[in-house]
């Protein structure tokens, strides 16, 4: 197991420590060899990801067949999957071709909510399971288990290989504007330093015109090679700098954008504003499938060795749901998992890799809450990875006036009202002290006329 995974339970303690303590501990950690910090699996996945870019169709299919067999065998150890597979008349021991996967049952977010513990592979001890939660693009808070020493090093390795397509090198300085909470006060500090990676963490909650000069000053002082940001945050920074005449006094190598949709027009604007290339990718906290822009193309290519991707039938708009099967997570494999994200497949193909159009990922749009002091808070940033949402079936924000926000939550059978205050405190920590927050229990959150989830409901003021 990696040192990073062993120390993960101490993360909150580290984050709460004074900055001098964090700087000392983080700097010492950063000096350790990557094989110690990320574990032996990290280097293996880096090599694998780099090699996968050159595979021919046969190499891809051979790898995926082996990986799918491993995932199905691990899943079959869990009571939930064993029952589902038997009902569907499928047997992982007889899995001989990729086409056979279509005969396995689909997995929904509702399945994860209702049967999570029965989906755990009992052959993997509890000490090797890492519990993670995500709100997801569907607004359904979902909890699941990753495999310690494997899942996180794999993610790190694949991200770094993807980012290398735009000039990233391990150890590069990075400035991050992706939801890090630097202060729960509207007028609080906007930055912190992650000494474990030598990254500058900038708040995406305080990015307002009256504080823009502080962001530019900090960036010019730190001089990162890359800006890692939500697309919405990168656009706010770029437009604010353009309107105010503020400039960076150093060259950026790239802008790295994930977690939200980035259309072609916005990407071209960011590349012009920051005078560098932009890299955009698509993935999930569940670590099921991963796609990133190519070295020369802005289309998103799915990594054949990361997970197995399928697509549902296209709807009236030509969008297909992403369905994924995870690789390398023996603790809790997700088999034919319906992500809830809809994408548009590219009309062209390259080396048989599944491709989607970069600006056609539905459910990853920019939505903001407005504070009483004029701040704009991205709902992507508020999408909390915390156990306080355990037991909820759906969540939704509603707002009519700046600074007034209602958080609607739909409880499930495992919800405990004793979590209400912790949930309120967690939300206010991200929203800040210029919001008045009301929690309201509902029997069902509002949907669009087509029955799709809405993250944000606009109320008439």
Count of the separate structural domains present in the chain: 2
pLDDT at 97: 96
Residue 56 pLDDT greater than 70, yes or no:
yes
pLDDT tens, position by position, 430-444: 888 899 999 999 988
Same domain, 118 and 59: yes
Let me know whether 9 and 74 are in one domain. Answer: yes
Do 329 and 389 lie in one domain? The reply is no
- CATH code: domain of residue 382: 3.30.300.30
Domain assignment of residue 443, given as a range:
368-458
The 10s digit of each residue's pLDDT in 200-230 is: 999 888 888 889 999 999 999 999 999 999 8
Same domain, 35 and 180: yes
Domain-terminating residue out of 364, 390, 418:
364
Single residue among 316, 346, 364 that ends a domain in this structure = 364
If asked whether residues 29 and 79 sit together in one domain, one would say yes
Kindly state the average pLDDT of the residues 81-101: 97
State whether 176 and 252 are in the same domain: yes
Distances from the Cα of 226 to the Cαs of 249, 269, 424, in angstroms?
14, 17, 34
Q: Give me the long-range contacts of 45-53 (CB less than 8 A, separation at least 24).
A: 45/153, 45/154, 45/157, 45/158, 46/157, 46/160, 46/161, 48/157, 48/305, 49/157, 49/158, 49/161, 49/162, 49/303, 49/305, 49/306, 50/161, 52/303, 52/304, 52/305
Q: Is the pLDDT of residue 105 over 90?
A: yes
Mean pLDDT of 163-168: 95
Dist CA 310 CA 244 (whole Å): 46
> What global pTM score does this model have?
0.83
Co-location of 39 and 22 in the same domain: yes
The whole-number pLDDT of residue 307 equals 97
What integer is the mean pLDDT of 226-235?
Answer: 92
Clarify whether residues 435 and 315 are in a common domain. Answer: no
β-pair type (199-202, 174-177): parallel
37 and 49 share one domain? yes
Top pLDDT among 298 and 311 is at 311
In terms of domains, do 405 and 318 share one? no
CATH code where residue 324 lies: 3.40.50.12780
pLDDT for the residue numbered 52: 92
Does one domain contain both 289 and 424?
no
pLDDT of residue 461: 61
Last residue of a domain, one of 330, 364, 398: 364
Position 139 confidence tier, pLDDT thresholds 50, 70, 90: low
The residue with tokens 């891809």 is: 60
pLDDT at 363: 54
- CB neighbour burial string for 381-411, b if at least 16 within 10 angstroms, e if fewer: bbbbebebbbbbbbbbbbbeebbbbbbbbbb
Same domain, 292 and 441: no
Sorted by sequence, the CB contacts under 8 Å of residue 308 that are 6+ apart come out as 64, 67, 68, 98, 101, 289, 324, 325, 327
């Amino acid at each position: 197991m990696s040192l990073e995974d062993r120390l993960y339970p101490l993360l909150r303690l580290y984050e709460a420590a004074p900055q001098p303590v964090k700087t000392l501990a983080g700097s010492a950690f950063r000096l350790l060899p990557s094989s110690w910090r990320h574990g032996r699996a990290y280097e293996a996945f880096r090599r694998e990801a780099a090699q996968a870019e050159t595979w021919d169709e046969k190499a891809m299919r051979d790898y995926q067949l082996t990986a799918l067999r491993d995932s199905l065998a691990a899943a079959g150890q869990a009571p939930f999957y064993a029952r589902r597979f038997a009902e569907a008349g499928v047997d992982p021991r007889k899995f001989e071709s990729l086409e056979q996967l279509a005969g396995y049952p689909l997995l929904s977010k509702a399945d994860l909510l209702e049967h999570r513990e029965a989906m755990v592979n009992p052959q993997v001890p509890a000490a090797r399971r890492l519990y993670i939660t995500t709100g997801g693009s569907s607004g359904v808070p979902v909890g699941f288990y990753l495999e310690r020493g494997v899942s996180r090093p794999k993610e790190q390795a694949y991200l770094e290989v993807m980012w290398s397509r735009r000039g990233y090198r391990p150890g590069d300085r990075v400035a991050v504007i992706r939801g890090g909470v630097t202060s729960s006060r509207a007028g609080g500090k906007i930055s912190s330093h992650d000494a474990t990676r030598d990254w500058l963490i900038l708040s995406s909650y305080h990015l307002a015109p009256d504080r823009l000069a502080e962001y530019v000053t900090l960036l010019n002082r730190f001089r990162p090679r890359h800006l890692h940001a939500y697309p919405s945050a990168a656009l706010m920074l770029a437009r604010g700098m353009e309107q105010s005449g503020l400039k960076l006094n150093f060259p950026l190598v790239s802008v790295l954008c994930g977690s939200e949709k980035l259309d072609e027009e916005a990407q071209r604007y960011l590349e012009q504003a920051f005078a560098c290339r932009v890299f955009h990718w698509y993935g999930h906290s569940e670590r099921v499938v991963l796609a990133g822009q190519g070295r020369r193309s802005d289309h998103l290519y799915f990594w054949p060795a990361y997970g197995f991707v399928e697509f549902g039938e296209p709807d009236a708009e030509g969008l297909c749901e992403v369905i994924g099967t995870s690789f390398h997570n023996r603790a809790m494999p997700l088999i034919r998992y319906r992500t809830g994200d809809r994408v548009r497949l590219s009309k062209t193909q390259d080396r048989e890799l599944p491709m989607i159009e970069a600006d056609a990922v539905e459910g990853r749009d920019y939505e903001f809450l407005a504070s009483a002091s004029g701040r704009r808070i991205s709902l992507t940033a508020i999408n909390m990875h915390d156990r306080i949402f355990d037991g909820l079936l759906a969540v939704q924000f509603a707002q009519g006036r700046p600074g007034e926000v209602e958080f609607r939550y739909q409880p499930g059978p495992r919800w405990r009202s004793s979590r209400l205050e912790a949930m309120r405190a967690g939300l206010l920590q991200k929203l800040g002290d210029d919001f008045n927050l009301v929690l309201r229990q509902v029997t069902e959150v509002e949907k669009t006329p087509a029955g799709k989830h809405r993250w944000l409901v606009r109320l008439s003021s």
